[in-house]
Amino acid sequence: MSDPVRVLLVDDHALVRSGFAMVLSVEDDVEVVGQAANGREALAALTEHPADVVLMDVQMPVMDGIEATREVVARGLGRVIILTTFDREDYLFDALAAGASGFLLKNADPDDLVDAVHAVAGGHALLAPEVTLKVISRLVGDDAGRRTGQAAAARPAPVPAAEVRRAVATLSPREREVLGLLAEGLSNAEIAGRLYLGESTVKTYVSNILAKTDSRDRVQAVVFAYRAGLAGDA
């Protein structure tokens, strides 16, 4: 039996932490190794109790979730899932720039929370379906020139069109097809079923896509797909 996924819960509301801990504690392959009320406490906890996944709130005293995420990722202390609310989408862009691996709404179903922890622990990146289109549209510049302040500063600079074309040219037809399905939010297993391929073959295609498009994870690959006009082409 493989080791359980170690999770650290970070939120300044004890009731929220207790709720997440209750959901995760019933899973045989998940272990809550600690809790913290702010980013600074989280960093201290991670040095004593290493975690694979950190469930991170954004608005917290002392050190907020964005700064803490940046530190966790920079130090290689774990992969971060940002806990967010739908009405504060600006946090998503800051967190993405800080290196977060996923975004989950606080009102998500318990099963979605467990699935998110497993997915991120397995090296995948994810966005809650409710915010995916918002994130993608902002990152590809659909509202370029209209956003100001902190959220605008956090958005990555648009990739030059020529650079996108060069990267697309390196993709095989099958890789473009897989990338299009990634942009639809399909998992490796779902892509394998759609294309009648083995899941290990799909994993290889995804790895090649990440390398060729210079994407850190699946989220960035989806952003690339939209910039390149490949989303929805599969």
Which pLDDT score is estimated for 39? 95
Q: How many CB atoms lie within 10 A of CB 48?
A: 8
- Residue boundaries of the structural domains of the chain: 5-133, 159-228
Give tens-digit pLDDT for 48-58: 999 999 999 98
- Number of residues in the chain: 234
Element (H, E) at 35: strand 30-36
Which pLDDT score is estimated for 90? 66
**CATH number, span 5-133:** 3.40.50.2300
Give tens-digit pLDDT for 132-165: 556 656 655 554 444 444 444 444 444 557 888 8
pTM (whole model) above 0.75:
no
CB under 8 Å, gap of 24 or more: what pairs does 211-215 form? Answer: 212/167, 212/170, 212/171, 212/175, 213/167, 213/171, 213/179, 214/167
Q: Quick one: tokens of 11?
A: 């939120």
Are 84 and 55 in contact by the 8 Å Cβ rule? The answer is: no
Q: Stretch 181-187: mean pLDDT, rounded?
A: 79
Which residue from 14, 27, 221, 11 is spatially nearest to 121, judged by alpha carbons?
27
**CATH number, span 159-228:** 1.10.10.10
CA-CA distance, 5 to 22, in Å (whole number)?
15
Q: What percent of the chain has pLDDT over 70?
A: 82
